[in-house]
Chain A
Amino acid sequence: MADSLPPPALEVTGLRKTFGDFTAVDDVALTIAPGGSLAVVGESGSGKTTTARMIAGLEKPTAGTIRLNGRGRPGVNARTSERREFAREVQMVFQDPYASLDRHQKIGDCIAEVLTLHTDLRGPARAARTAELLEQVGLDERHAASLPRALSGGQRQRVAIARALAVQPRLLVLDEAVAALDVSVQAQILTLLQHIREQTSVAYLFITHDLGIVRHICDEIAVMRHGRVVESGAADTVLTDPQHPYTRKLLDSVPVPGWKPSRVLATADTVPSVPGTEASKGDAGNRP
């Protein structure tokens, strides 16, 4: 046994992405311990999905490094088996489930195909595992025989989750994966994810707008705004004692009984971007 600590499941440093002269992700650093769970929250358009796509290998970083389990992504000259192995270690559930499913493929076939590609399961064993994966996310044979368009938004999202779990990745990137689900099904999926994490030590990068579920699924949290991480730390600490004014503004906007929607122009720079400075209470009326 090595006495050195195992490498982090994910280690990102200096990550940048520009589209033309627009900087979508700006010097982002993130670390997730093996079997750990990090929530990424923040402003719409702040670069969360772009960060996730770079980590999953779907987008090329402009700068920065991404290491999974201590290893960098194999280059273009690496052997296919090595590249496939790496691809299998990180799976992503997308924000738009419809776009990520093949419109002409039945749900059951879609799961079976992934099993064929990444496992030795064949025939009845594969069929049984397909059924089991669908059942875990609350779907059954009737859904298995359907095409994506015959499913509701939430049902499609559950298919995407089952497909990602089929591969048994070391890191699962979930981009708004439960946003389309009713709260009871959400509870079921989040409990399942928690359970799988305990059993398999898979790590999660969990992008969400729902601050109410962060503490149920994540240990750590990173808050993004304008392409940067403005605050990060233990989820309990950040959510109960936020330091950055933007984090405070976010927490203040969570609907609770008696809450009324109010105009706090989200994109206007009414909050100072220096961490630790006092948020001015007069923000709300401060429109340019």
Chain B
Amino acid sequence: MNRPQPLLAIDELHVTLPFKGQPRTVIQRVDLTVPAGSAVGLVGESGSGKSMTARAVLRLLPGGARTGGKILFDGADVTTMSPAALRKLRIHDVAMIFQDPRAHINPVRTIGDFLTEALVTTRGVRPRAAEATVTALLREVGIADAARRLRQRPSELSGGLLQRVMIAAALAAEPRLLLADEPTTALDVTTQAEVMAIIDEARAERGLAMLFITHDLALAAAVCDRIAVMYAGSVVEELPADRLHDGARHPYTRALLASRPAPGSGGSLRAIPGRPLPAYETGPGCAFGTRCSQAQEVCGAERPLPRSGGGGTTACHFPVDPLVPQATTGAGDRSTTHG
């Protein structure tokens, strides 16, 4: 087979952070590929390592982090890259939209300085031209009074306005890969549609690829080509986006989908019973085992490896057959408790 090499290939990524002098696992195992021009959604448990995965791609992990496995961008391994190559990667190739824009935009500088600085200092664009570029971009993301916004400071902007400033900054760099960490959580749904449409256009026009972290499963299914689901530091399922709602095979994915009933269905919200585990607390078995309604003995003893089937991969000893109607996947269902 002669498949083109994907723009981003993450292969058995493992990350530990030091805790009281001991390494502590925060990413157990992540395998992901993002071909040029495509969008991969990363969804899953809060605290499961989605942001860490994205940060690992830019080597922006907390101090003392140790990384195992490979992260190949256009064939070059980020984990062993020289400082010069890493700088080029961050400036020209990969842009990140951070989950918490207020923590990543200098509070004392103006929005205009923040947006134009990179264009002026690293790309040699003239200040006037840079200002015109970012003004146009701000309009694109639905900020009409761009001239006034450029003179303001972050504290004068609402959460959603600041999030859009960060999106504009990321797009201004014309990257090849966009790491978008919850880029639309602070936006109303109409503005969200606008922003996603702009990203779609960049994908179609210049082959922009995107790793899209979100909690909104319907949004992920709508804008992505493929979806990866994380739980306790591992990708537990990977599948085509249009199969998410009726083709998911991992019990965690199915329970997640069942947590949120379709709008207007009148169904109630259902949390998955039990407590999520951080990656470093998982035992030898399946990390979801203690909360899973279909777990059996082997699930507590042996960690399931990702296996392909149904157009995707699933790390589960007993993947669900989506064609067989299921009793609800344990979510809130007391009759299916697991010991």
CB-based contact B275/A153 at 8 Å? no
Q: Which of A184, A187, A249 has the most CB of B within 10 A?
A: A184
A235-287 interface with B by 8 A CB criterion: 240, 249-250, 253-268
Q: Which B residues are CB-close (under 8 A) to A219? A: none
Q: Does A109 contact B (CB under 8 A)?
A: no
CB-based contact B191/A263 at 8 Å? no
Q: Which B residues are CB-close (under 8 A) to A257? A: 218, 221-222, 245
Q: Does B69 contact A (CB under 8 A)?
A: no
CB-based contact A211/B189 at 8 Å? yes
B132-191 interface with A by 8 A CB criterion: 142-144, 148, 156-161, 163-164, 182, 185-191
Known contacts A44-B160, A190-B269, A255-B222; is-contact A182 B256 (Cβ 8 Å)? yes
Q: Does B103 contact A (CB under 8 A)?
A: yes
Q: How far is the CA of A50 from the CA of B157 in the complex (A)?
A: 11
Q: How far is the CA of A190 from the CA of B331 in the complex (A)?
A: 15
B: number of interface residues (CB 8 Å): 64
CB contact between B189 and one of A48, A142, A250, A268 (< 8 Å): that residue:
A250
Q: Which B residues are CB-close (under 8 A) to A71? A: none
CB-based contact A153/B182 at 8 Å? yes
Q: How far is the CA of A51 from the CA of B235 in the complex (A)?
A: 41
**1/0 per residue B175-218: CB within 8 Å of A?**
00000001001111111111111101000000000000001111
Q: Does A7 contact B (CB under 8 A)?
A: no
Q: How far is the CA of A50 from the CA of B161 in the complex (A)?
A: 13
Q: How far is the CA of A188 from the CA of B278 in the complex (A)?
A: 18
Count A/B pairs, Cβ under 8 Å: 179
Q: Which A residues are CB-close (under 8 A) to B255? A: 184
CB-based contact A96/B215 at 8 Å? no
Q: Does B113 contact A (CB under 8 A)?
A: no
CB-based contact B51/A152 at 8 Å? yes
CB-based contact B186/A187 at 8 Å? no
Q: Does A65 contact B (CB under 8 A)?
A: no
CB-based contact B186/A95 at 8 Å? yes
CB-based contact A253/B193 at 8 Å? yes
Q: Does A231 contact B (CB under 8 A)?
A: no
CB-based contact A187/B271 at 8 Å? yes
Residue in chain B with minimal CB distance to A154: B46
CB contact between A45 and one of B160, B185, B196 (< 8 Å): that residue:
B160
CB-based contact B197/A43 at 8 Å? no
Q: Does B307 contact A (CB under 8 A)?
A: no
Q: Which B residues are CB-close (under 8 A) to A268? A: 144
CB-based contact B215/A267 at 8 Å? no
Q: How far is the CA of A209 from the CA of B255 in the complex (A)?
A: 23
CB-based contact B156/A98 at 8 Å? no
CB-based contact B142/A267 at 8 Å? yes
Q: How far is the CA of A211 from the CA of B62 in the complex (A)?
A: 35
Q: Which A residues are CB-close (under 8 A) to B192? A: 209, 253, 255, 261
CB-based contact A261/B188 at 8 Å? no
CB-based contact B193/A261 at 8 Å? yes
Q: Does A216 contact B (CB under 8 A)?
A: yes
Q: Which B residues are CB-close (under 8 A) to A179? A: 185-186, 215
Q: Does B66 contact A (CB under 8 A)?
A: no
Q: Does A76 contact B (CB under 8 A)?
A: no
CB contact between A261 and one of B62, B196, B256, B276 (< 8 Å): that residue:
B196
Q: Does A186 contact B (CB under 8 A)?
A: yes
**1/0 per residue A190-227: CB within 8 Å of B?**
11000000000000000001011100100000000000
Q: Which A residues are CB-close (under 8 A) to B194? A: 261, 263-266
Q: Does B326 contact A (CB under 8 A)?
A: no
Q: Does B272 contact A (CB under 8 A)?
A: yes
Q: Which B residues are CB-close (under 8 A) to A240? A: 264
Q: Which residues of A contact B (CB under 8 A)?
A: 19, 22, 41-45, 48-50, 95-96, 98-99, 138, 140, 142, 149, 151-155, 176, 179-188, 190-191, 209, 211-213, 216, 240, 249-250, 253-268
Which 3 pairs between the two chains have the least Cβ-Cβ distance? A44-B160, A154-B46, A261-B196
Given contact pairs A254-B263, A263-B194, enumerate 9 new A-B contacts (beta carbons under 8 Å): A41-B188, A44-B158, A44-B163, A183-B217, A184-B271, A186-B269, A209-B189, A255-B189, A257-B218
A-B CB contact pairs (8 Å), 10 listed:
A44-B142, A44-B188, A98-B103, A180-B46, A182-B44, A209-B192, A216-B269, A254-B218, A263-B197, A263-B198
